[in-house]
Structures are given as structure tokens and as C-alpha cells.
Chains A and B, each alone.
Chain A
Amino acid sequence: GQNIDQPTEMTATEGAIVQINCTYQTSGFNGLFWYQQHAGEAPTFLSYNVLDGLEEKGRFSSFLSRSKGYSYLLLKELQMKDSASYLCAVSFDRGSTLGRLYFGRGTQLTVWP
């Protein structure tokens, strides 16, 4: 729902940089989250953007453009352990259902040696 779109799969090599894009409908936007999910495990929080710009957190950075309905997650110095699904999740509500997240299908990233 809410037209959250991200690529299904990406591959990269160890030590490289990869950018995972996410687009969403802009109406009612209230915040965007990126989660990492390894197979069979719970999603773990990576980043949160609500204002335009870049948020940097170690090897991971996330960018948001509210006017364009666009975000990306940038992973630097890739390691084998970064192989996982990366979920883009958007919050559209502020009133009725606080914290409800709409998820994209996830981008399965495979890091090769």
C-alpha cells in the first residue's frame, strides 16, 4: 500500500558502495525508516528521516527528499555480513494510528567476496 517502491534485488562486491532507492507517495508523509532484515530474523532499525537531507551513521547513510517522495540508503565499505533484505518503511499518519508503518517489499542485497 501507499505505493512504496524499491528494487527487488541488488548485488555488489565486498568493499564497494551500494545505493538502495525508495520512492513513495508524498501525501500525508510523516517519516521514513530503513530496516535491515537477515533471513529468518526480525527487522532491525537502521535510520530515520523526517526532514530533507542526509543522515549519516557510520557506514550507513540515508537521504530524504520530501518534495520528490524519494529516499535512498547508502552502504559504504560493504562487508559480507551486509547481505540481507533492506526494508523501506514510511509513516503517513500522525493522528489516528501513530507509528503505523507501510513497508516496501524489501531489497535483497547480496555481497560477493
Chain B
Amino acid sequence: ETGVTQSPTHLIKTRGQQVTLRCSSQSGHNTVSWYQQALGQGPQFIFQYYREEENGRGNFPPRFSGLQFPNYSSELNVNALELDDSALYLCASSLDRRDRLNTEAFFGQGTRLTVV
């Protein structure tokens, strides 16, 4: 139990639709990162939010966007869904103290998105 929850756990969408995935971070964690994990692969970094602002982005197109809210929740939005977007989407929360080395990231259980 990591204290990070994601919803929904499973989702089926049609190509071209839009989807919003949600994450509730551990209380007090100021940083949330989103990852996409295709079957048989390691997670790939999508982007990170620190104190409600985007703080870095991986190699994903602009139709992947996000928000982080003051109540330690966050969203991942994907527009114009493509078949290749089918994957497990993971959020990870951490406390970034800025003056120390990296600390542990706690992962949610993920949202399994299937695009048909």
C-alpha cells in the first residue's frame, strides 16, 4: 500500500476520443510524475508536475497534458486517442525537497487503458 491511488483502474475508449485519468498522491507530496507502460516494457516518463506547474516532459506529443491541484490530486488528459496509446498509465508521487538527492517515488496501481 503506497498511499497513491488512481482511477479508474480499467478503461476502454474508442480511437479519437479523449480520456482523463486521475491520481491522488500521498499527502504532503509536492511532485507527481506520470508514466506510460506498454506491455512487456518499462515505464516511460510522460511529464512531471511540481507545485502545480509542469516541470519537465518526456517524448510525448502535446495531446498528452496534465494538471496538478493543491489537494495533492492530479490528472492526465489524452486527446485524440490512438490505438498505440493502449497501455498501463502510472502516476508516482514524491516529496522533492530541492536541496537533497532524489527520494523514493511511490507508484499508484495504475490505470489500464485500452483503445479500440
Contact = CB atoms under 8 A, between A and B. Distances in A.
SS class, residues of chain B in contact with chain A: loop
A45 B55 contact: no
SS class, residues of chain A in contact with chain B: loop
B56 A100 contact: yes
- Interface size of A as a range: 20 to 34
B104 A103 contact: no
A67 B101 CA distance: 19
B41 A99 contact: no
A99 B110 contact: no
A62 to B, nearest CB: 13
A23 interface: no
A60 interface: no
A100 to B, nearest CB: 5
Contacts of B40: 105-106
A100 B48 CA distance: 7
Interface string A53-95: 0000000000000000000000000000000000101010110
B65 to A, nearest CB: 17
Contacts of A31: 101-102
22 contacts: A31-B101, A40-B112, A41-B109, A42-B4, A42-B107, A42-B109, A42-B110, A43-B90, A43-B107, A48-B102, A50-B101, A87-B42, A93-B56, A98-B96, A99-B92, A99-B103, A101-B35, A101-B92, A103-B35, A105-B40, A106-B41, A106-B42
Interface of A: 1, 4, 30-31, 33, 35, 40-45, 48, 50, 87, 89, 91, 93-94, 96-106
